[in-house]
Amino acid sequence: MDNTLKTHISTLIKGMGIGTANVIPGVSGATIAIITGVFERLINAVKSFDMTAAKHLFSGRFKEFAKHTDLRFLGPLMIGVLVAIISLAKLLEYLFSDYPVYIWAYFFGLILPSVYYVGKTVAKWTPTNIMLGIAGTAFAVSLTFLNSAVENSHPLYVFLCGMVAICSMILPGVSGSFMLILMGNYKLIVMEAINQRDMVLLLPFLAGCCIGLVAFSHLLSWILKRFRNQTIATLTGFVLGSLATIWPWKTPIYMLDELNNRILKDGDYVISGYQSFIPNSVSSEVIIAWAFIGLGIASIWITEHVASKSNPSEVSSL
């Protein structure tokens, strides 16, 4: 197979992994981007949508536009993301409805060894890097204990929600939808504005998303270039902290309306969070769940092993 085609297929599959994560509650697509080694390139590609890109596009210099924005990489990746979201959303909805513990267990197994594989890309774990890793872990874990704010439909607050949500989506271990819940506007934006095509709310939210994505990608790119090891150490902490959210054994906390009744959407109650617990008995479900954790660990190990054989020069970098 042609090397270029193999590269595009590989990028497409990685995009599908990121897209799959985005339709799983509590899982960050950025975490998968780090695991698959495309995080930094993705940030730089998004950052490249600037005035230079606009000049190339509107002047008809499409080849220069594609090169400037790294479309040879970004195109297949985004196609993979969209394919995964469209094709897997229903399947994952069914699996999480009928086999939630097993699915959470598999993803827990995926994330667990990834902490090591991401962490080993730090050139040296100095005391400063260790402290940053601990801080990143503490931040990601703390998100699971925060209470939701009160709903606010003011355009400026909705704009801020868009910025925070999109920035969260490109941070490992942080879920954009979960941040909307914390800011109190998940129901307002996801359940009402989108379903009702309420442009009064959607326009400031989308504007916040666009501006936040470009601005934050510039910031992340700048930080990665100047403080690479410190940044990766912090992101390693984010990945480690996300394990608290992905822990397989937990009971759902449902979103309530003003009368303390569960909110229903598309025939299912809306979940605002989870309360984790440790199983106190050994059952067939627990044994199978641990088997799925092992399967997730094996999946990452095999992926890394194959990658190191085919691209030994890229193993040491994201």
Model confidence over 246-256: pLDDT tens digits? 789 988 777 77
Mean pLDDT of all residues in the chain? 80
- Residue 154 tokens read as 């003011």
Q: Read off the pLDDT of each residue in 85-107 and give the average, rounded to a whole number.
A: 77
Query: Whole-angstrom Cα distance, residue 298 to residue 302?
Result: 6
Question: Is 191 a residue whose pLDDT tops 80?
Answer: no
Q: Read off the pLDDT of each residue in 43-66 and give the average, rounded to a whole number.
A: 90
Task: Give the model's confidence band at 311: pLDDT under 50 very low, under 70 low, under 90 confident, else very high.
Answer: very low
Higher pLDDT, 1 or 109: 109
The pLDDT > 70 percentage for the chain reads 81
Higher pLDDT, 199 or 30: 199
Report the SS3 class of residue 148: coil
Q: Say if strands 250-254 and 271-276 run parallel, antiparallel, or are unpaired.
A: antiparallel
pLDDT tens digits, 159-187: 998 888 787 767 766 666 667 766 777 76
- Single-letter amino acid code for the residue at 205: F
Lowest mean pLDDT among 52-56, 90-94, 155-159, 215-219: 90-94
Task: Give the model's confidence band at 316: pLDDT under 50 very low, under 70 low, under 90 confident, else very high.
Answer: very low
Report pLDDT for 309: 58
Report pLDDT for 178: 65
The alpha-carbon radius of gyration of the chain (Å, integer) is 20
pTM, entire model: 0.64
Report pLDDT for 312: 46
**Residue closest to 85 by CA, chosen among 42, 44, 29, 45:** 29
- In the chain, % helix, strand, coil (3-state, to 5) comes to 70, 5, 25
Task: Give the model's confidence band at 23: pLDDT under 50 very low, under 70 low, under 90 confident, else very high.
Answer: low
What residue ranges in 151-294 does DSSP mark as E strands? 250-254, 264-265, 268-269, 271-276
Q: Read off the pLDDT of each residue in 7-14 and give the average, rounded to a whole number.
A: 88
DSSP 8-class letter at 189: I
Question: Is 268 a residue whose pLDDT tops 70?
Answer: no
